[in-house]
Every structure is written in C-alpha cells, then in structure tokens.
Amino acid sequence: MMHARRKAIAVLGFGLVSSVVTVPSASAASAFAPSGETATVVRAAGEDCGASVSQSSGGFSISFSDFHVRAGGDSDPAEARKRCQVSVVPPVQVPKGFTYAITQVEVRGFADLATGSTGTLKLEEYFEGAGPTRTMTHDIAGPRSGGWVTTDLIPVGALVWKPCGEDRLLHVNSELRVSPDKADPSRVNVMGLDSDPARDRMIFHLTWKTCSR
C-alpha cells in the first residue's frame, strides 16, 4: 500500500528500553541457540488476524494478512480497534537441557495518519500459566504516511525464562487502535501490520542458556 521511507518510533515502556539505534546482530543474541528448530503457530484467539509464524535468524517472527484499523470517513467505529492473540511454541521442541527468553521485540508496520490523529500499538507476551510479564505501548502521531519501526530491548535483569523442563506456549497479545482526525472527520486514518508482506511483521529475538541441574 505504501512505500515511503521508514521512520522509527521511540517510546519508553515498563521494564524495557525502547531505542532507535542500530539493532544488535541476531548472531549475538543466539550464539548458543540450538540448531534446526523452528517456530509454529499453535492457535490464534480473538479476532481473525491471519497470523503466521516463521523462523528468523536468532528467533521467530509473526506476520499478519488481516490486521489493521481505520477511523474517520465512512469507517465503522468498531474498525478503530482490533485485538489479536497468537499462541506459539518457539521453537517446536526445546532441546533437553536448554531454555530461552525474549531479549528484543521489533515491530514493523505502516500508517497513514493526518495531523490530529494518533495510532497506538500495544503488545504483551507471556508464557502459559503466567500473567503478562511486560507491556509495550507505542503511540504514533500524525501527520505520517508510510512505514514505521519500533524496537524494545529487554534488559538482562528483566529477562523472563521459560521454566526448564516444562512445555509451555508463548502467548503474544497485540492490539491496534487509531483515532479520527477531529479537525477533519471525513479523513480516513489507517494503521496496520499487513500492508507489505516483505516488511510488516513482529520479530522476536531469543537468547538461550543451559538449565542448571
């Protein structure tokens, strides 16, 4: 839909460090990662967002075929907010003696927002059996037209490790919201994660460690 130059967003979240600096190489985060493992969607809950999961260097990524919101013009008010929950196992089978944690979350999407309109991305991730370990929220203010990128780095002291020896799903809850332009209600404002298949996605970087005996 849009091919404008990407712009980065920086927002501070609880227990996180949001940054627009150069992303560390994936090899650094996965130096001890077992090889030959992939990530798979187990189920998607809530509204149908067309989620699919694939392995990426140093972790996994989630792509969507139907995850966007719009407000203004002839838009239905219900179109201004959408939630999506994806439950994944990254990787399908954790090798015996290893566990992992998410060290970085990068989200790439698009927006077409007029002055006076704001788009919001909210993201939570947590292991099955536990509540949300952290919430990442990014507000994108208009005017903006084109791609955007958010990056959240999780400090070492805030890493949440999958319990050793337990098979647990990783739940990823995401929400998109967009507000209309109060000065021009006829203007349609859009934000999403499904415009460009080569760009739009959520990327999760993992780090690994051996389980203590």
Tens-digit pLDDT profile for residues 156-170: 989 999 888 888 888
For residue 199, CA distances in Å to 101, 128, 160, 211, 212 come to 24, 29, 28, 35, 39
Supply 178's token pair: 């967009």
Q: Which residues pair with 21 in a beta bridge?
A: none
Name which of 30-34, 152-156, 198-202 the model is least confident about.
Answer: 30-34
Higher-pLDDT residue of 182, 39: 182
**Number of Cβ within a 10 Å radius of residue 144:** 22
Q: Which residues pair with 191 in a beta bridge?
A: 69, 111
Overall average pLDDT of the 5-33 stretch: 32
What confidence tens digit (pLDDT) does each residue in 35-87 have? 544 445 555 555 678 888 887 667 888 999 999 999 999 999 999 999 998 88
Find how far residue 5's CA is from the centre of its chain: 20
Q: What value does the mean pLDDT of the chain take? A: 78
The predicted structure's pLDDT at residue 175: 96
Find how far residue 126's CA is from the centre of its chain: 13
Q: Which residues pair with 76 in a beta bridge?
A: none
Q: Please answer whether residues 148 and 113 qualify as being in contact, where contact means their C-beta atoms are separated by less than 8 angstroms.
A: no
Q: Is the dihedral of CA 165, 61, 80, 66 positive or negative?
A: negative
Q: Please answer whether residues 89 and 206 qualify as being in contact, where contact means their C-beta atoms are separated by less than 8 angstroms.
A: no
For residues 118 and 139, give the distance between their C-alpha atoms in angstroms, rounded to a whole number: 7
Q: Which residues pair with 120 in a beta bridge?
A: 139, 177
For residues 10 and 200, give the distance between their C-alpha atoms in angstroms, rounded to a whole number: 18
Flag whether pLDDT at 139 surpasses 80: yes
The predicted structure's pLDDT at residue 4: 35
Flag whether pLDDT at 13 surpasses 90: no
Supply 157's token pair: 């002291």
Flag whether pLDDT at 29 surpasses 60: no
% of the chain at pLDDT higher than 90: 44
The predicted structure's pLDDT at residue 31: 38
Q: Is 174 helix (H, G, I), strand (E, B) or coil?
A: strand
For residues 167 and 169, give the distance between their C-alpha atoms in angstroms, rounded to a whole number: 7
- The DSSP 8-state label assigned to residue 29 in this structure reads H
At 142, is the pLDDT very low, low, confident or very high (cuts 50, 70, 90)?
very high
The predicted structure's pLDDT at residue 90: 56
Flag whether pLDDT at 110 surpasses 80: yes
Quote the strand ranges of the chain, DSSP E. Answer: 7-9, 17-18, 40-46, 51-56, 59-64, 68-71, 81-89, 98-113, 118-127, 135-141, 144-153, 170-178, 189-192, 201-210
% of the chain at pLDDT higher than 70: 73
The predicted structure's pLDDT at residue 34: 53
Q: In the structure, how many helices (H) and strands (E) does the chain have?
A: 1, 14
The predicted structure's pLDDT at residue 154: 93
Flag whether pLDDT at 19 surpasses 90: no
Of these ranges, 23-32, 41-50, 98-107, the one predicted with the greatest mean pLDDT is 98-107
